[in-house]
Structure 1
Amino acid sequence: MVLTHWLVGPQLVGLIILIVGLIQKYFPPKRINNWYGYRTDIAKKSQQNWDYAQAYSANLMLKYGSGAIILGLLLADVLPLKYELVLPITAMFSGISIAVMMLVKTETHLEKKFNN
């Protein structure tokens, strides 16, 4: 029961996002595709957009994933065990928040950089 208090929360979401970010950073998709990588219309518009979107979103995933791990560990340390349900709820919220922030920030950056 105490172990789940330390494992289930934003830190778990952060760890998953961090791992995905590392994979995307070191093994980015080389060609535009519909299966792997940061795949939006702007990113798929040209190979230059695609390559830049992969690198930019991977860096955001590393940053946001690390932040979620730190936040989750701090919450797990601060929250008493009787509030165990708070951590899974914050995990869901952090996962959705990170996805939205990454999408908005990357799309905005791509639009500015490539004047789409």
Structure 2
Amino acid sequence: MDLLHLLDLFFNHSLIGLLLLIFGVVYKIFPPKNINVFYGFRTERSEKSKEVWDKSNIYCAKKIIEVGMFLTILGAINLIVLPKMYSLFSIIAAGSLLIWVIVKTDKFIS
């Protein structure tokens, strides 16, 4: 297996993690300034005040970065252990962890 093929497989396995990592970094650098309906961590609790909105979005960005790093590493491990199951595995792991981020952030602001 050549290096280019190995890198291609790594990006296939870790794509969701890398995308979440990039999104999390952008979200941290450019957090939503005001409560809005388009961008940010939007729950009933997070929209109660500007202070809670800011606090929840900073925390959520941090958790998305953590999930992105975790999924990137998990994708690399999955490449070795289950190389033909990356799509299903990545979707299930990402979906579960994003639900965890929502629950964790909502508990953080309560």
Match of 1:55? 58
1:61-100 superposed matches below 5 A: 61-80=64-83, 84=84, 86-100=85-99
Residues of 2 paired with 1:44 and 1:13: CA distance? 28
Q: TM-score, normalised by structure 1?
A: 0.83
Residues of 1 paired with 2:26 and 2:106: CA distance? 21
Aligned residues: percent identity? 33
1:103 counterpart SS class: helix
2:75 counterpart SS class: helix
8 A contact 1:13–1:94 mirrored in 2: no
Match of 1:114? none
The answer to whether residue 107 in structure 2 is matched with residue 108 in structure 1 is: yes
Q: TM-score, normalised by structure 2?
A: 0.88
* Structure 1 unaligned blocks of 5 or more: 112-116
Moved over 6 A (4+): none
* Structure 2 unaligned blocks of 5 or more: none
Match of 1:5? 9
The answer to whether residue 43 in structure 2 is matched with residue 40 in structure 1 is: yes
Number of aligned pairs? 105
**CA RMSD between the two structures:** 1.4
Residues of 1 paired with 2:50 and 2:9: CA distance? 44
